[in-house]
Amino acid sequence: MSKLQTQLRKSVAHCVFAIRNGLGVLTIATLGLASAASAQNFATDVGSSERINLAGQLGTLSQRIIASACNLNAGIAVRESNAVLQISANQFERINDALLYGNRGFGILGEESRPRTLRAVSELADVWQPLQREALTAEVGANQSDMIASIAVQSVPVLDEVNILVSEITAQYADPVALLHADALLIDIAGRQRMLAQRMSKNVCLITSGIEVEAAREELAATIELFDTSLSALRNGLESVGVRPPPTKRIEEGLQFVVDEWTAIRPVLDATLIGTQLDENTRTRLFGAFLGMEARMNNVVFMYDKNSKLGL
């Protein structure tokens, strides 16, 4: 089995486990029958795909807030990194509130009431808040290496809690009434690409700043591989693990933009892995490039989300 298939089978298993955990065993055949059911049999969509999407965005924020704090501390893209740092903190609070209380602007209707989901939201907030407080103390060129290293370490349990929350929300909302398994899988993988982009941004900054270099280099190498293989699966499909090719021309074009940008920056990442020191202009360009890739992948997730509702 190829590395691509191994990585993506994990994503498939993640979604299947969540569905089984929350809804009982649902086979692909069952899902197919449900998708063919008449419209009057569908319950009102309370924002199933939007909830999964937003929960995944919290993982992106767990990496982006560190990438921006690290770059601000290093004096890289100061205005942009400071703005992104503040926006990341604010975004977390907005998404957290939307998942708890609903937000029509986000497409989420109604307050959350499932105890396991509420507990997952609360436990994530418990580990996020100390990280956020520390990250917001970053100053321009302050050489706060210990603080940056500290929040990098704290990001591990934050991302673990995000993954638990995504599992719980997928278990609760990925059902044949509102969101099919195949659509949930695409939203999950595409959404994860946003997080991986910011994880790479974080690790490039840590390496070039001389902070936790070996751990950051190891994580960067693994993240590059996962981003690359997942992007290939989204772009071309991978039937053996249930990943469909792009369902619309716009999604195909959106993914191609990401492929082009990825091709352009990949050599710089490979150079970083072998110890090439990046100059300030290159670091600034990479910081912006990863933000751009996150934005493009976010747009792709939005299109997957909208496409998932066409059969409702």
CB 58 within 8 A of CB 124: yes
Looking at residue 248, its pLDDT comes to 94
Query: Which DSSP category does 218 fall into?
Result: H
pLDDT tens over the chain, length 312 residues: 555 445 444 444 443 333 333 333 222 222 232 333 333 333 456 788 889 889 999 999 999 999 999 999 999 999 999 999 999 999 999 999 999 999 999 999 999 999 999 999 999 999 999 999 999 999 998 889 999 999 999 999 999 999 999 999 988 886 654 456 777 788 889 999 999 999 999 999 999 999 999 999 999 999 999 999 999 999 999 887 778 899 999 999 999 999 999 999 999 999 999 999 999 999 999 999 999 999 999 999 999 888 877 654
Q: Model's pTM, two decimal places?
A: 0.83
Spatial separation of the C-alpha atoms in residues 128 and 60, rounded to whole Å: 13
Looking at residue 40, its pLDDT comes to 35
The gap from C-alpha 289 to its chain's centroid, in whole angstroms, comes to: 16
Looking at residue 281, its pLDDT comes to 96
Instruction: Report the Cα–Cα distance between both ends of the chain, in Å, rounded.
Output: 36
Domain residues of the chain, as ranges?
3-26+42-308
CB 84 within 8 A of CB 47: no
Contacts of 71 (CB under 8 A, 6+ apart): 77, 81, 205, 283, 287
Spatial separation of the C-alpha atoms in residues 257 and 262, rounded to whole Å: 9
Query: Which DSSP category does 112 fall into?
Result: -
Quick one: tokens of 218? 């190891």
251-266 burial string, b = 16+ CB within 10 Å, else e? beebbeebeebbeebe
Looking at residue 179, its pLDDT comes to 58
Looking at residue 292, its pLDDT comes to 95
CB 43 within 8 A of CB 153: no
